[in-house]
Structure 1
């Protein structure tokens, strides 16, 4: 089986090359993303392996079909960048990695939360220049506050456990509530609007769908406590970015820690430090002292990279051998 691997970074090549020793696939690594302009470079391959910012839309799928590609191997859990209806109509199999390391993502979310509420980045920058003044670095205890978990899949449940460890009360919203988990864990499901109103910390762990796009918007943020903070390690478009800027400017929320951004595909995973940033919304967000942005690195642990490579190649093996496709997205 020949696999065209798009949007390659050094850590991808290292982990997949090591994992492929057990599979023996022919993998060619491309540094550029899959999109309408690059799709034809997959000619002669059986499958493409893509990440979150590769475009797998109708036009790309049409081109891939004409050159004989039969499978889309997602090396991530999310699949919002794939036109699933077109993929099904054109006969593609779409396979993903549903649980590479939920701990990696949840732990990164907790790191963002602590960094935000205790002003760790500002303190670090001060002490690096021998400035040991702590004025303006007053934080607050998490113990006794209410954490709202939006989406109670594996990552959401683990995040709830971490925040419970800080002594926080856990409330949650999910359109498909896991009653068994909530009873054993002791979390209370509440209506969505109550989640926004009651949460001191709101942590986002839901997939991006038509129903969840901009679920955090102008109206929902106006409901929140003025000192409440949002943590987003899910998908950028769960939040209306322009509404977020407005909420921060007018003090409707206390701050945000985000590992994803609505229009991240142009900027994330690249060095723009010497270029002009044309995204005014992202540029404005970077100016707020109560905003911490990391560049979609929540997944980036050695454990997760190994699991991603192993599961992706297991998916390829199942596809090529005609086995059961346990991780197929339909």
Structure 2
């Protein structure tokens, strides 16, 4: 099987090449370019393409891949909201993903964001580098004996719930499907979770139902002085309403690994450019907001698992087997 790998970073190549020696029948060519309608035509002659979360695998791209006779779209991610699944299905193109590469990696990063934003670690680091050892503006609060609200209790949300439990927090959760492994969690309605939680952490997929889940109305239902963390998808939070809430001092702290309008920024060095949108700058202007660059997954263990599962998906497809990782 010939696979064209889009949006290659050095760590992607290193991780996949380390695993690929176990699968001699797979041939991979690597491109730095993202998968978009403009680059989809490069897939002519390949059986499969491999794309990440920031690639555009929408209607036009899928149509072009079909014209190139691509039979398989390999997603080296859990999310698939950036893919036109219906169009791929209509063309007989299989889509396979990596649903559980390292839940703990993302959950640990979520807690890092919560702690760092709460204790203003980002400000403290810069301040001490300038020999300023004052503590003004650094006051945080204990998570111990506070209430954490976990929105979405799949593998990542469950891992975050366990971390919060380890911090001595009461853990509430909201999910359409309760996780039977979380016997220490109290499942409540979304409204009750927002009303009772000092920490709200988002761990749900981006769907029509969850788009702008956090908006002016739901923010109004939160406790004053809440800490909000999002390591899932930027579209879960309506940015304008979040900024409005920050300015109204509703939030004690906000930690974001994902945000709306991040698409052109993800994994790119744009330090010498003038950014088109002011959203990121506006968020970063607030002293209680901490933003990272969609790096929740970025651990050695997670990269290894992504590589292993993606390659196994390709082999299974070629053999006509299923893995449970198919997006139907």
| Kept after mapping to 1: 8 A contact 2:156/2:203 | yes
**What is aligned with 1:187?**
185
Task: Provide the aligned C-alpha RMSD in A.
Answer: 1.0
Post-superposition offset of 1:176:
1.5
1:6 aligns with 2:6: yes
Deviation of residue 204 (structure 1)?
0.4
Matches within 5 A, 1:25-36: 25-36=26-37
Q: CA deviation at 1:129?
A: 2.0
229, 234, 250: which is aligned to 1:236?
A: 234
SS at match of 2:181: helix
Q: Shift of the alpha carbon at 1:18?
A: 0.9
Match of 2:87 in 1: 86
5 Å-filtered alignment, 1:260-279, equals 260-279=258-277
| Partner residue in 2 for 1:23 | 23
> Is the contact made by 1:221 and 1:253 (CA closer than 8 Å) also made in structure 2?
no
Secondary structure of 1:3's match?
strand
TM-score by length of 1: 0.97
Shift of 1:26: 1.1
Q: Distance between the aligned counterparts of 2:287 and 2:214, measured in 1?
A: 21
Query: Are 1:245 and 2:246 an aligned pair?
Result: no
Q: Deviations over 1:100-133 (max 9, x none)?
A: 0001000011111110111111111121222211
Equivalenced residues, count: 327
The 1-side partners of 2:129 and 2:65 are apart by 51
**1:162 is the counterpart of 2:163:** yes
CA shift for structure 1 position 12 = 0.4
Q: Which residue of 2 aligns with 1:51?
A: 52
Q: Distance in 2 between matches of 1:255 and 1:92?
A: 43
- Counterpart residue number, 1:145: 146
For structure 2, which runs of at least 5 residues remain unmatched after alignment? none
Q: With the length of structure 2 as denominator, give the TM-score of the two structures.
A: 0.98
Say if 2:74 and 2:310, in contact at 8 Å, map to a contact too: yes
CA distance in 1, matches of 2:223, 2:299: 33
